[in-house]
Amino acid sequence: MSTLARILIFGSVSGLLWSVAPGVLDDLFSRRADVPATIVASVVSGIITAAVLGAVVTRFGLGPAVGFGLLSLPFGAFVFGFSLALITRFLPALTCGTRAVIEPWKLGADYVFLSVFTVLAVGLFPLAVVTTLLLRSFILRGRPPAGG
């Protein structure tokens, strides 16, 4: 399987799993109308974050990968908020028109603040690091050994 395919699969699955964080912590799963938009925005965020990380985490050792994992939380949170705002604005059928339209840059920044500068960061940062290390492992497992 190619590296791109691995990144797309990992990003989709991790994005789907990460949808639980805003779905539960920001109460986006309380209304049925918000669930599809939350899941789609999470998958988009997972794929974009995995693509950006996949380009760098395999080039460095474990230490830098942990650092990239720490940076992945604000990055992924921003992409999630930005995507959610765009979905709300341009695909209102996914939210049944129940969400207020918010500027994408503002909602992205709000999710960065929520994930990094609140008590939620205590649980979210370790999850982001573990996710990044899993991505690194998933990509490296698919590569042929060096020199062979």
As a whole number of angstroms, the distance between CA 71 and CA 132 comes to 10
**What is the pLDDT, as a whole number, of residue 148?**
43
Residue 116: pLDDT band (50, 70, 90) is: very high
Residue 101, phi then psi, degrees to nearest 5: -80, 120
Residue 78, phi then psi, degrees to nearest 5: -65, -50
Q: Is the pTM of this model over 0.85?
A: yes
**What is the pLDDT, as a whole number, of residue 32?**
78
pLDDT by residue (tens digit) across 2-20? 888 999 999 999 999 999 8
pLDDT by residue (tens digit) across 77-86? 999 999 999 9
Look at 57 and 144; give whichever has higher pLDDT.
57
As a whole number of angstroms, the distance between CA 74 and CA 40 comes to 18
As a whole number of angstroms, the distance between CA 11 and CA 30 comes to 25
Tell me the domain boundaries of the chain. Answer: 3-141
pLDDT of 113 > 70? The answer is yes
